A and B are shown apart, each in its own frame.
Chain A
Amino acid sequence: MKFFQRSRKNYKTLSDSELVDLAANDKDAFGELYERYLTKIYNYVYYRTGNSQDAEDLTAKVFFRAMSHIQHYEDKGVPFQAWLYRIAHNLVANFHRDQGRRKIIPLDDYIAQSLKSDAPDKQAEANEEQELLLAAVRRLPAERQELILLKFIEQKSNAEIGDMMSRTEGAIKSLYHRTLLALRDELAQTPHTTALPSKKQS
């Protein structure tokens, strides 16, 4: 009967830590982890690099690295998801270092898709505002970018983010406040941006 139990359906009922235990010797278990986290990791990398091509390359590297190192992962209070994000974080950092600068690239396909609108002028203006905001987010220090992505894309609570970033809930609240202040100041320094008066200006 063991043969029948290898159907993919069964993996869906397993927890992350059970899958991680199996994944060292069972590629299908890793396949399930891949299904669970592909979109999350892709989002993280996409918003930190700014284009889909780099996001795909780096996402692939994250999963290849995770697969080759999964036997070394131990659940010492750090969830598998946080471990995966750590790999993504390191690869994105290497990517930016190799680029020699923080790339400020428009979110190509995202924006291009939005431009196909019936109200081009208004939409183009909105897209420009959006692009400026996202570019400002990408100029923030890595941990602040991570916080924004975990909050707005993953919709994690402060406590959950704290677990993932090895900080207390209070520290995350404080970091979030400082992140918004930094982002506001960053936007205020950007030419052609509207609204959001900086503390320095007011």
Chain B
Amino acid sequence: MTESQFQDLLSAFTDALLHDEHEADHLLEQAVLSREVAPLLTLTRRLHTSVRPVAPSAAFSRRLKADLMGQEHQSLVWQWRQLPARVHIAAIVALFGGFGLLVMGLFVDVTRRQHSKDTSAPSSISSLG
């Protein structure tokens, strides 16, 4: 086996190990393993089982992000801006709807008072007469 073929086998075996272990076994069955190759393939398997992804703690991730983003991001304005657009729209519709109802209620109330004032006025005049 030439050095180039050796390198190709190592890379192919590693890629197969990472993505499909059956493919790695298939490669091994096909390859004629010399004393030189076999220990390196064993080492590759050991690396595959030992060098595994780790994750930072959630507390660290949150703290670092808060530090990077700065204190202003703790504010209500920042928190509001993080909400999805549909929540923004719902909040604004609710706000305008509520305001509309309030105005409408006031209008109805004023109209009703006006109406009651109008209806009570002639009787008071007639009572004066």
Contacts and interface: CB of A to CB of B under 8 A. Distances in A.
Contacts, number: 119
Secondary structure call for the B interface: helix
Contacts of A151: 14, 18
B89 to A, nearest CB: 8
B39 A149 contact: no
B4 to A, nearest CB: 8
Given A27-B73, A180-B43, A184-B39, A4 B7 contact: no
Main secondary structure of the interface of A (DSSP, over half): helix
Given A27-B70, A42-B54, A110-B54, A152 B36 contact: no
A197 B39 contact: yes
A59 B85 CA distance: 32
Interface in B1-34: 3, 6-8, 10-11, 14-15, 18-19
Contacts of A174: 7
Interface stretch (A13-21, A80-88, A115-123, A129-137): A129-137
A174 B53 CA distance: 25
B117 interface: no
B84 A9 contact: yes
A157 B15 CA distance: 7
Contacts of B47: 133, 137, 148, 152, 183
Interface string A165-193: 00000000110110011011001000000
A8 interface: yes
A153 B51 contact: yes
A174 B3 CA distance: 9
A174 B49 CA distance: 23
Interface in B32-61: 35-36, 39-40, 42-44, 46-57, 60-61
B64 A31 contact: no
A198 B48 CA distance: 20
Contact of B40 (A56, A110, A152, A184): A184
Interface of A: 3-9, 27-28, 30-31, 34-35, 38-39, 42-43, 46-47, 52, 55-56, 59-60, 63-64, 67, 110, 129-130, 133-134, 137, 148-149, 151-153, 155, 157-158, 173-174, 176-177, 180-181, 183-184, 187, 195-197, 199, 202
Given A148-B47, A173-B11, 18 more contacts: A4-B88, A7-B85, A8-B82, A9-B84, A31-B68, A34-B68, A38-B61, A46-B54, A55-B56, A63-B68, A64-B67, A134-B50, A137-B51, A173-B8, A176-B10, A177-B10, A177-B40, A195-B42
23 contacts: A4-B88, A5-B85, A28-B81, A31-B65, A35-B65, A39-B56, A42-B56, A60-B67, A63-B68, A129-B46, A130-B50, A151-B14, A152-B47, A152-B51, A174-B7, A177-B3, A177-B40, A180-B10, A180-B44, A181-B40, A183-B47, A195-B42, A199-B36
